Amino acid sequence: MKRDAQVQWDALAQSKATRLARATHVTQGKLVDAQKMTSLLEAVLEPGDRVCIEGNNQKHADFLSAALAKVNPQAVHDLHIVQSNIALPQHLDIFEKGIARKLDFSYSGPQGVRMAQLIDADKVKVGAIHTYLELYGRYFCDLTPRVCFIAAQSADRDGNLYTGPNTEDTPAVVEATAFKNGIVIAQVNELVERVPRVDVPADWVNFVVRAPKPHYIEPIFTRDPAAITEIQILMAMMVIKGIYAEYGVTRLNHGIGFDTAAIELLLPTYAENLGLRGKICTHMSVNPCPTLIPAIESGFVQSIHSAGSELGMEAYVAARPDIFFTGPDGSLRSNRVFCQLAGHYSDLFIGSTLQVDMQGNSSTATKSRMTGFGGAPNFGCDSRARRHTSDAWLKAGREASSSSAHAMPRGRKLVVQMVETFGEKMQPTFVERLDAWDLMHKFDLALPPVMVYGDDVTHIVTEEGIANLLLCRDEAEREQAIRGVSGFTAAGLARDERMVETLRARGAIRRPEDMGINPLHATRDLLAARSIKDLVRWSGGLYDPPKRFRNW
Amino acid sequence: MKRDAQVQWDALAQSKATRLARATHVTQGKLVDAQKMTSLLEAVLEPGDRVCIEGNNQKHADFLSAALAKVNPQAVHDLHIVQSNIALPQHLDIFEKGIARKLDFSYSGPQGVRMAQLIDADKVKVGAIHTYLELYGRYFCDLTPRVCFIAAQSADRDGNLYTGPNTEDTPAVVEATAFKNGIVIAQVNELVERVPRVDVPADWVNFVVRAPKPHYIEPIFTRDPAAITEIQILMAMMVIKGIYAEYGVTRLNHGIGFDTAAIELLLPTYAENLGLRGKICTHMSVNPCPTLIPAIESGFVQSIHSAGSELGMEAYVAARPDIFFTGPDGSLRSNRVFCQLAGHYSDLFIGSTLQVDMQGNSSTATKSRMTGFGGAPNFGCDSRARRHTSDAWLKAGREASSSSAHAMPRGRKLVVQMVETFGEKMQPTFVERLDAWDLMHKFDLALPPVMVYGDDVTHIVTEEGIANLLLCRDEAEREQAIRGVSGFTAAGLARDERMVETLRARGAIRRPEDMGINPLHATRDLLAARSIKDLVRWSGGLYDPPKRFRNW
């Protein structure tokens, strides 16, 4: 039984104490002057540190991130950044300068092209691309941050934080850091005597800085109804009548594109006429998207839990506490962890994608961009840890059941891809081979970056119809079901017409007319709101859209 | 565009205000006298309310639960209880008395038999049996509590709560309730001037009661090494050499039986001799099980995040902050949500079960008990939302890859069932048909209650060897691989000898000798600790086992 008396068991705590001691030269107590932030970071950071920068898909600790980009790379270098969303130029500046070197992340929308270049130039070494929950899980396993930067609305003198409606990832990031003797640094928009509610307790926070301007926040969930096309309306009708009504889908998650916005705007009109109020779309895991307003006001949607908030929706959410999760201060309490969990175990996910192959695998990765998938893979997969049943889930499971007498029965999550056969710039959505394969080779990844795997997808909806992959019994049938809704893309034209008709005969492919939908009825008149202004009206003036969405 | 001016959007907030107003007759402010608790509950509860009772697999809000059992069933009835773990008699008393009627839960170990009787007598109507994360997810979707009862170590006058090492489910339960205008009632062991750290902020809490005695807590993770058998040691050797070493498993979750305790106690001896320190078992998602002490002291396990704590491990954990997640007060910060997440996305789960069928489906449900599975299904399933790679995960994925040229490559989680061929009272573990089927019929369930589905299982380890199901190419091969390690059970004797030998020839079945393991070497001498007292010694006296585990 050997034990080494020399082993140190509190190296992290000791190192934290040393770092905090170094910081006393820069600051007194928790409050830090904005102008001294770079000095503070030089005092508390050490080369090779794992640093978590709060960059959700909306809220960003942008001031801290910019301060990090100004540290002396001689003193602070080779950081390992763990971050949900790489969205701002300074997120990559630190790699350009050698301050950071390794990166584990989830999503990199607009910075995807530059990131690809930096990887090429060997400035960024990517650990992995994750889904959100997966990345948070690793914060409590092998990617625990040494230091984290977070953003909040306000703080009191003790360091209690108020995040307001955008709590998002903050609790997960802080908990992982604070309880492994890491250092938590918060930027806030204002210092107050008393925070309206405590979203993060003071004793979890080491430093607070009032940033010169409010933290960056992106309104990524706002879709202008004016841009919704009649093709999208037709697809939305098919989804409502051919999927939501058929399976009785009450609990679900919507992606954030115009396709799903169209569904939301048809609930008070088309779905209402079908007598579906109270029968579909009652419980959602989704941000407060403005296009949900008419469905809420009409009594369709009864409860919404959100991962984050949406700019302009503050007053509306505060006035609808029966629908949203709100605090005693009246504002939304969002939390990406719980929203992702609720959505993961719900009955349906529907979203769009850029490419779908003939096995139903889909990806938003394209040749020149190193992007990621955020929450879609988690919402858009069959949860094998689910044990509770629902009618929708059981029906999907019955449809999928194999012919084997031995097979253990089980339900299935409905995972729907809703895409037009041709996307932007008339690029075909349906392809024989995903660009993800090229990306794998280019960036030396172990696997192609797939967003939703084909064997998790249950339905593909296009303007041509719905392919129900649950009803396909082998790989060949799945392929033809997909080709059978791929329209005039090369993949669609390569269909086996006879097999497609066989699949249609048994409902594995359904055309609009098979569902009693007349495409001529798919007009913008069906939209409950046809403009942002209509949404404001539906909200009784509570919705206050960001300036760039106002054209009146 | 129709809108109803009469619609009320703050019914929950109004109802909460009404309830709180009724409570002012019973109490002033947040503090409630223990003797008035039943009156308080009668004031704030209404028939049909959904009530979440904190009953984790360790910590229980037992005083509040007992107070609920004393309310007047004329006034408070037909409650819908949502609760992780049904463990105490009073949890079922409320159903017996008609105070509660519907139940959604995760696990019901010792109360399983009585629960079955109450279901039979139509006193309990079960909504569903969930996994932990699934149930928490529904708290934010369609099972949001109206009132919750939670347990903490201490509270200050404002209502800030300190959970100490057993934070467990508390944050999830409170967040779901507090932010949907529900009422949060906390029982605490003591009232203090200032809590050692804030685990739940005061403004999330409505009432605090100092319970007459400390909340109930169960030491369910303590396994006495004295009870570990040589068969378990042999199986542990196979797991270490045949699975952990082969795949290079660094991130994993262990079940809580003697089988996995044996693995833990072989790390500093057998695994050390194989040169595996630093190469396996470095990061774990598991409670602070005492049998982990030698592996921690030997430098095997480097980081542990825990769902809850374990009685007697407080001082040891506090002295090992580099290993565990601890707060500024020195004690563990556990959190079942994050532990389950970390484990879900890690590389391996290993646990035991009561029955395994010939497709590899397993269940701990038996004919007379209405039990559940807690966290096992979540740890023990392939995460289809995982996108980051690891060597272990990729190797498992390669082994599983089908022959189809089209198949999208992907990794696989290692899910290992470690069982002796015969269990307690010489009941065969391997069966042609799970008792779960009978349970389904008896309780009118939609599906048999399966703990881990066969298609998620990758390895089955028995004293006869390891079946690697990843290497089986069809249903018949899987069946024979399972029969091939089922020993002298009827299922094992029904094996197709020739097919079993074929499977062995290509490594889908491996006997100890195939791995260079001599069963004669599997002796208790290999255990790093052979008694609870040995564990105390390894801990340098820091581990303080509960009295019932002391025999010296």
Q: What is the pLDDT of residues A189-221, one digit of tens each?
A: 999 999 999 999 999 999 999 999 999 988 888
A394 to chain B: closest CA residue:
B446
Cα–Cα distance list, B198 to A202, B3, B195, B327 (Å):
8, 44, 6, 10
Q: CA B304, CA A499: separation in Å to the nearest integer?
A: 54
Give residue A485's pLDDT.
98
In this predicted model, what pLDDT tens digit does every residue of A255-269 receive, in sequence order?
989 999 999 999 999
**CB B289, CB B221: distance < 8 Å:** yes
B402 pLDDT higher than 80:
no
CA nearest to B141, candidates B157, B158, B128, B125: B128
Both tokens of residue B341?
């997440």
In this predicted model, what pLDDT tens digit does every residue of A270-311 receive, in sequence order?
999 999 999 999 999 999 999 999 999 999 999 999 999 999
Beta strands in B192-265 (DSSP E): 207-210, 216-217, 251-254
A4 pLDDT higher than 80:
no
pLDDT tier for residue B405 given thresholds of 50, 70 and 90: low
Q: Which of B175, B377, B453 sits opposite A335 (nearest CB)?
A: B175
Average pLDDT over residues A358-376: 84
Cβ separation of B387 and A178 shorter than 8 Å? no
Give residue A333's pLDDT.
98
Chain A (172-231) residues lying within 8 Å, Cβ to Cβ, of chain B:
172, 175-176, 178-181, 197-199, 201-204
Helix axes A132-139, A336-344, angle to 10 degrees: 120
Give residue B5's pLDDT.
58
Q: Is residue B16 less than 8 Å (CB to CB) from chain A?
A: no
Q: Which of B131, B172, B325 sits opposite A385 (nearest CB)?
A: B131
Q: Is residue B443 less than 8 Å (CB to CB) from chain A?
A: no
DSSP-derived secondary structure letter, A269? I
**CB A299, CB A323: distance < 8 Å:** no
Give residue A533's pLDDT.
97
CA atoms within a 13 Å half-sphere pointing along the CA-CB vector of B205: 31
For all residues of chain A together, what is the average pLDDT?
A: 95
Cβ separation of A201 and B198 shorter than 8 Å? yes
**Residue B544 burial (CB < 10 Å; 0-12/13-18/19+)?**
middle
Cβ separation of B285 and A358 shorter than 8 Å? no
B152 pLDDT higher than 70:
yes
Average pLDDT over residues A113-117: 88
Q: What is the dihedral of CA A513, A516, A521, A522, to 10 degrees?
A: -70
For tokens 């079946």, name the residue: B467
**Residue A277 burial (CB < 10 Å; 0-12/13-18/19+)?**
middle
**Residue A384 burial (CB < 10 Å; 0-12/13-18/19+)?**
buried
Average pLDDT over residues A475-489: 97
As a whole-number percent, the residues of chain B with pLDDT over 70 amount to: 98
A371 pLDDT higher than 80:
no
**CB B256, CB B220: distance < 8 Å:** yes
In this predicted model, what pLDDT tens digit does every residue of B58-114 receive, in sequence order?
899 999 999 999 999 999 999 999 999 998 999 999 999 999 999 999 988 778 889
Q: B384, B453, B480, B536: best mutation site toward chain A, by most A Cβ within 10 Å?
A: B384
CA nearest to B438, candidates B490, B491, B371, B366: B366
Q: Nearest CA of chain B to the CA of A249: how many Å?
A: 13
Cα–Cα distance list, B389 to A86, A134, A206 (Å):
20, 11, 33
pLDDT tier for residue A110 given thresholds of 50, 70 and 90: confident
In this predicted model, what pLDDT tens digit does every residue of A66-87 receive, in sequence order?
999 999 999 999 999 999 999 8
**CB B532, CB B225: distance < 8 Å:** yes
* Those residues with Cβ within 8 angstroms of residue B407's Cβ, 6 or more apart along the chain or in another chain: A359, B401
pLDDT tier for residue A374 given thresholds of 50, 70 and 90: confident
Q: Which residues pair with A306 in a beta bridge?
A: none
* Those residues with Cβ within 8 angstroms of residue A30's Cβ, 6 or more apart along the chain or in another chain: A158, A159, A205, A206, A207, A208
Q: Is residue B410 less than 8 Å (CB to CB) from chain A?
A: yes
Cβ separation of A305 and B12 shorter than 8 Å? no
Give residue B1's pLDDT.
45
Q: CA B103, CA B51: separation in Å to the nearest integer?
A: 10
In this predicted model, what pLDDT tens digit does every residue of B423-466 receive, in sequence order?
988 999 999 999 999 989 888 899 999 999 999 999 999 999 99
Q: Where on the phi/psi map is residue B424: left (φ > 0), alpha (ψ -120 to 50), or beta?
A: beta
CA nearest to A523, candidates A298, A281, A277, A266: A266
Q: Tell me, rounded to whole angstroms, the distance of Cα A30 from its chain centroid.
A: 33
In this predicted model, what pLDDT tens digit does every residue of A308-365 receive, in sequence order?
999 999 999 999 999 999 999 999 999 999 999 999 999 999 999 999 999 999 998 7
CA nearest to A159, candidates A129, A187, A136, A123: A187
In this predicted model, what pLDDT tens digit does every residue of A418-470 receive, in sequence order?
999 999 889 999 999 999 999 898 888 999 999 999 999 999 999 999 999 99
Which residues in chain B touch residue A346, judged by CB atoms under 8 angstroms apart?
A: 137, 141
Give residue A1's pLDDT.
45
Give residue A112's pLDDT.
84
Average pLDDT over residues B485-500: 98
Q: Tell me, rounded to whole angstroms, the distance of Cα B488 from its chain centroid.
A: 31
Q: CA B444, CA B116: separation in Å to the nearest integer?
A: 12
pLDDT tier for residue A28 given thresholds of 50, 70 and 90: confident
Residues in chain B: 552
In this predicted model, what pLDDT tens digit does every residue of B265-321 receive, in sequence order?
999 999 999 999 999 999 999 999 999 999 999 999 999 999 999 999 999 999 999
A93 pLDDT higher than 70:
yes
Q: Quick check: helix, strand or coil at residue B106?
A: strand
Give residue A404's pLDDT.
64
B216 versus B173: the higher-pLDDT residue is: B173
DSSP-derived secondary structure letter, A548? G
pLDDT tier for residue B31 given thresholds of 50, 70 and 90: very high
Q: Is residue B530 less than 8 Å (CB to CB) from chain A?
A: no
A407 pLDDT higher than 90:
no
CA nearest to A83, candidates A126, A36, A116: A126
Give residue B409's pLDDT.
93
In this predicted model, what pLDDT tens digit does every residue of B195-206 receive, in sequence order?
999 999 999 999
Question: Kind and range of the H or E element at B418?
Answer: strand B414-418
Q: CA B23, CA B203: separation in Å to the nearest integer?
A: 17
Chain B (389-408) residues lying within 8 Å, Cβ to Cβ, of chain A:
389, 394, 404, 406-408
**Domains, chain A:** 25-217 (3.40.1080.10), 225-532 (3.40.1080.10)
pLDDT tier for residue A5 given thresholds of 50, 70 and 90: low
Is the four-CA dihedral B65, B69, B71, B75 of positive or negative sign?
positive
B3 pLDDT higher than 60:
no
pLDDT tier for residue A20 given thresholds of 50, 70 and 90: very high
* ipTM attached to this prediction: 0.96
Size of interface A-B (CB pairs under 8 A): 285
Beta strand pairing call for A147-155 and A161-162: antiparallel
A447 residue type, one letter: L
B137 pLDDT higher than 80:
yes
Q: Nearest CA of chain A to the CA of B335: how many Å?
A: 10
As a whole-number percent, the residues of chain A with pLDDT over 90 amount to: 87
